Amino acid sequence: MTTPFYVSPQQVLADRAEYARKGIARGRSIVVWQTDTGILFVAENPMPTLHKVSEIYDRIAFAAVGRYNEFEALRVAGVRRADLTGYAYSREDVNARALAGVYSQTLGQIFTHELKPMEVELLVAEVGSPESDGSDDRLYRVTFDGQISDEGDVVTMGGAADELLEKVKDHFSPGMGDREALRTAVQAMADQMGNPLGVKTLEVARLDRSDPGRAFSRMGHDELAEMLGGDEIEPVAQAEEKDSEA
């Protein structure tokens, strides 16, 4: 008689978590930063039409790393949920906390009950009212297994996110302006990669706190080049090497 093959639930979940982490680690980096004017999103993304950062509702945005088709399906579901809530009740009833909770339930259910977990990590951000000082801005991270956390001023996601966060925080100060925060984020990403990072490989967007309506907007290549002071940012080590050779 053949002995039934048995794997403990703990081992099954551990294997699923390892599978999801490996998929997410292959994703390109994202830095999300609370600035003096709102919330800034900086993503490495050479594909101009396949966005990693998108608008969900008036003052709410979505950022994700991992498998594109999976987080795009989650984004669309979030847009539909927000629209239905706003239509059935009021626009003020749509908030990032509720959306992050829905994403948490969805990802947790899939991780626990489906054979394959989603290879995604996402962030739902909401900028406060124009009259606020930023204290009511919200950043909610949701991981592949449905864990949800209320994040602080800076969030990093993607491959080697912890290392990138350390590089960013070396130059962090609360209430930085968009220009300074952008340069700091891009410099940290270039240093981590060890290669120059150009404006054509960046996706940058922001939630502008001063806008009373739809707060989301994207930055074009020309605006990025102006804010960065050029078309690309070199890693510090390469820049120092060039200066020493000059």
What pLDDT does 107 receive? 97
Nearest-angstrom CA–CA distance, 21 and 32:
20
What pLDDT does 79 receive? 97
Give the chain's domains with CATH numbers: 10-15+23-239 (3.60.20.10)
What pLDDT does 125 receive? 97
Q: Count other C-beta atoms under 10 Å from residue 222's C-beta.
A: 9
What pLDDT does 127 receive? 96
Whole-structure pTM value: 0.91
- The encoded tokens of residue 151 equal 């994040």
Query: Strand pairing of 154-157 and 30-34?
Result: antiparallel
Query: Strand pairing of 120-126 and 138-142?
Result: antiparallel
3-state helix/strand/coil string of 159-210: CCHHHHHHHHHCCCCCCCCHHHHHHHHHHHHHHHHCCCEEHHHEEEEEEECC
What pLDDT does 194 receive? 87
Nearest-angstrom CA–CA distance, 223 and 110:
40
Nearest-angstrom CA–CA distance, 75 and 147:
17
Backbone angles phi, psi at 146, to 5 degrees: 90, 0
DSSP state of 29: P
| SS3 at position 145 | coil
Q: Count other C-beta atoms under 10 Å from residue 139's C-beta.
A: 23
Question: From the first residue on, what is the mean pLDDT of each consecutive set of 10 residues in the chain (246 residues)?
Answer: 72 92 91 94 93 96 96 97 95 95 97 94 95 91 96 89 88 84 93 90 95 93 92 73 50
| SS3 at position 150 | strand
| SS3 at position 33 | strand
DSSP state of 199: G
